[in-house]
Chains A and B, each alone.
Chain A
Amino acid sequence: MASGYNAKEEDGHHSGAPGNGGAGAAKSKKPDNTAFKQQRLPAWQPILTAGTVLPAFFVIGLIFIPIGIGLFVTSNNIKEFEIDYTGIDASSPCYNCAQNFSWNSTSSCSCSVPFILDQPFESNVFMYYGLSNFYQNHRRYVKSRDDSQLNGDQKSLGNPSKECEPYRTGSNGLPIAPCGAIANSLFNDTLELYYLSNGTKTPVALTKKGIAWWTDKHVKFRNPGGNDNLTVAFQGTSKPVNWRTPVYELDPADPENNGFINEDFIVWMRTAALPTFRKLYRIIQKKADAPTLASGKYVLEVSYNYPVRSFDGRKRVILSTISWMGGKNPFLGIAYITVGSVCFFLAVVLLIIHHKYDNRNSSADIPN
Chain B
Amino acid sequence: MLRRRLNRLLGGDERRVDSRTIYVGHQPSTTEAFIPPKFCDNRIVSSKYTVWNFLPKNLFEQFRRIANFYFLIIFLVQVIVDTPTSPVTSGLPLFFVITVTAIKQGYEDWLRHKADNEVNKYPVTVLENGRRIRTESEKIKVGDVVEVNEDETFPCDLILLQSTRDDDTCFVTTASLDGESNHKTHYTVPDTEKDLDSLSATIECEQPQPDLYKFVGRMYIYKNGQEPDIRSLGPENLLLKGATLKNTLKICGVAVYTGMETKMALNYQGKSQKRSAVEKSINAFLLVYLCILVSKALVCTTLKYVWQSKPGQDEPWYNQKTQREKESNMYLKMFTDFLSFMVLFNFIIPVSMYVTVEMQKFLGSFFITWDRDFFDPEIQEGALVNTSDLNEELGQVEYVFTDKTGTLTQNNMEFIECCIDGFQYKYRNAETELDGFSATDGPVSKLLEKAGKEREELFLRALCLCHTVQVKEPTGLGQDQTDSIIGPPHEQRGFIASSPDEVALVKGAMRYGFTFLGLESKKMKIMNRNNDIETYELLHVLNFDPVRRRMSVIVRSKSGETLLFCKGADSSMFPRVRQEEVEKIRMHVERNATEGYRTLCVAYKKLSSEEYARADTDLQAARLALQDREEKLIAVYNQVEAGMTLIGATAVEDRLQEEAAETMEALQGAGIKVWVLTGDKMETAKSTCYACRLFQRGTELLELTVRTLEDGARKREERLHDLLLEYHKKAVQDALPIKSGGSRGWSKANQDFGFIIDGASLSMVFNSPESSSSRYKNLFLQICQNCTTVLCCRMAPLQKAQIVKMVKSSKGSPITLSIGDGANDVSMILEAHVGIGIKGKEGRQAVRNSDYAIPKLKHLKKLLLGHGHLYYVRIAHLVQYFFYKNLCFILPQFLYQFFCGYSQQPLYDAAYLTMYNICFTSMPILAYSLLEQHICVELLLDNATLYRSIAKNAMLRWVPFLYWTVLGVFHGLLFFFGVRFLFGNPALQDNGQVFGNWSYGTIVFTVLVFTVTLKLALDTRHWTWINHFVIWGSLAFYVFFSFFWGGIIWPFLNQQRLYFVFANMLSSVAAWLVIILLILLSLLPDILLVVLRKPRGPHARQRKAGESGVGGAKSSARPLLMRTFSDESNTVV
Chain A residues close to B by CB (< 8 Å): 1-13, 15-18, 26-27, 29-33, 37-39, 41-50, 53-54, 56, 60, 64, 67, 71, 124, 126, 128, 134-148, 151, 161, 163, 165-167, 181, 184-185, 210-213, 215-216, 219-220, 242, 267, 270-275, 277-280, 283, 307, 310-312, 320, 322-329, 331-332, 335-336, 339, 342-343, 346, 350, 352-353, 356-357, 359-360, 363-364, 366-367
Contacts and interface: CB of A to CB of B under 8 A. Distances in A.
B1128 A328 contact: no
B992 A280 contact: yes
Nearest to A153: B1051
B982 A332 contact: yes
B244 A4 contact: no
A35 B256 CA distance: 53
B7 interface: no
- Pick from A126, A146, A211, A327 the residue with the most CB of B within 10 Å: A327
A280 B996 CA distance: 12
The 8 closest A-B pairs by CB, nearest first: A185-B318, A1-B270, A327-B987, A2-B46, A273-B1000, A126-B992, A37-B370, A6-B115
Contact of A322 (B380, B905, B978, B991): B991
Given A31-B371, A138-B900, A360-B1123, A49 B1097 contact: yes
Contacts of B1064: 213, 215
Nearest to B324: A165
A185 to B, nearest CB: 3
Interface in B1020-1044: 1021-1027
A323 B1069 CA distance: 10
A8 B933 contact: no
Contact of B903 (A32, A48, A138, A357): A138
A9 B119 contact: yes
14 contacts: A3-B46, A4-B270, A4-B386, A31-B382, A32-B370, A43-B1024, A128-B987, A137-B899, A272-B996, A280-B994, A325-B1070, A336-B1077, A339-B1077, A356-B1123
Contacts of A12: 153, 176, 242-244
B151 interface: yes
Given A45-B1022, A48-B1091, A8 B176 contact: yes
Contact of A39 (B319, B933, B1091): B933
Given A4-B849, A141-B319, A323 B1087 contact: no
B4 to A, nearest CB: 10
Contacts of A324: 990, 1069
Given A139-B903, A148-B1054, A322-B987, A211 B318 contact: no
A18 B380 CA distance: 13
Given A141-B319, A332-B1070, A41 B1026 contact: yes
Interface stretch (B162-170, B309-317, B619-627, B941-949): B309-317
- Pick from B119, B849, B996, B1115 the residue with the most CB of A within 10 Å: B996
Contacts of B899: 137, 273-275
B607 interface: no
Interface string B7-25: 0000000000000000000
B1091 A363 contact: no
A38 B372 CA distance: 7
B988 A5 contact: no
A366 B320 contact: no
A134 B313 CA distance: 9
B1073 A15 contact: no
B1022 A43 contact: yes
B1054 A163 contact: yes
A215 B999 CA distance: 14
A41 B116 CA distance: 39
Nearest to B108: A3
B999 A273 contact: yes
A320 B108 contact: no
A29 B382 contact: yes
Given A6-B115, A135-B903, A277 B372 contact: no
Contacts of B1073: 67, 71, 325, 332, 336
Given A15-B175, A31-B371, A367-B1131, A9 B118 contact: yes
B323 interface: yes
Contacts of A143: 1055
A204 to B, nearest CB: 16
B381 interface: yes
Given A12-B153, A135-B319, A273-B1001, 18 more contacts: A4-B270, A4-B271, A9-B115, A29-B380, A37-B371, A45-B1021, A47-B1097, A49-B1091, A147-B1056, A166-B321, A166-B323, A219-B1049, A273-B1000, A283-B992, A332-B1073, A339-B1081, A353-B1120, A366-B1131
A275 B1021 CA distance: 45
B1074 interface: yes
Nearest to B45: A2
Contacts of A336: 1073, 1077
B931 interface: yes
Contacts of A137: 899-901, 903, 905, 997
Contacts of B999: 273
B937 A16 contact: no
A322 B993 CA distance: 10
Contacts of A7: 844, 848
Interface of B: 1, 44, 46-48, 84, 108, 111-112, 115-116, 118-119, 122, 151-153, 175-176, 242-244, 264-265, 268, 270-271, 312-313, 316-323, 366-367, 369-372, 375, 380-382, 386, 844, 848-849, 899-901, 903-906, 931, 933, 936-937, 978, 980-1001, 1018, 1021-1027, 1049, 1053-1056, 1059-1060, 1063-1064, 1068-1070, 1073-1074, 1077, 1080-1081, 1084, 1087-1088, 1090-1091, 1095-1097, 1115, 1120-1121, 1123, 1128, 1131-1132
B1026 to A, nearest CB: 7
B319 A310 contact: no
Contacts of A50: 1091
Contacts of A8: 176, 242, 264, 268, 848
Given A38-B371, A53-B1091, A326-B989, A271 B982 contact: no
A331 B980 CA distance: 10
Nearest to B999: A273
A152 B199 CA distance: 93
Given A46-B1023, A53-B1091, A332-B1073, A339 B1080 contact: yes
A363 B870 CA distance: 35
A274 B980 contact: yes
B122 A13 contact: yes
Nearest to A164: B322
A2 B1081 CA distance: 53
Nearest to B319: A141
B986 A39 contact: no
Contact of B1070 (A146, A270, A307, A329): A329
B370 A327 contact: no
A332 B1074 contact: yes
Nearest to B1056: A147
B843 to A, nearest CB: 9
A47 B1096 contact: yes
Given A18-B151, A50-B1091, A329-B985, A39 B992 contact: no
Contact of A142 (B905, B1059, B1095): B905
Nearest to A167: B320
B153 A13 contact: yes
Contact of B317 (A56, A147, A310, A325): A310
Contacts of A1: 1, 270-271
A359 B1128 CA distance: 9
A273 B1071 CA distance: 15
Contacts of A33: 372
B619 to A, nearest CB: 36
B240 to A, nearest CB: 11
A58 to B, nearest CB: 13
B112 A3 contact: yes
Contacts of A148: 1054
A64 B152 CA distance: 79
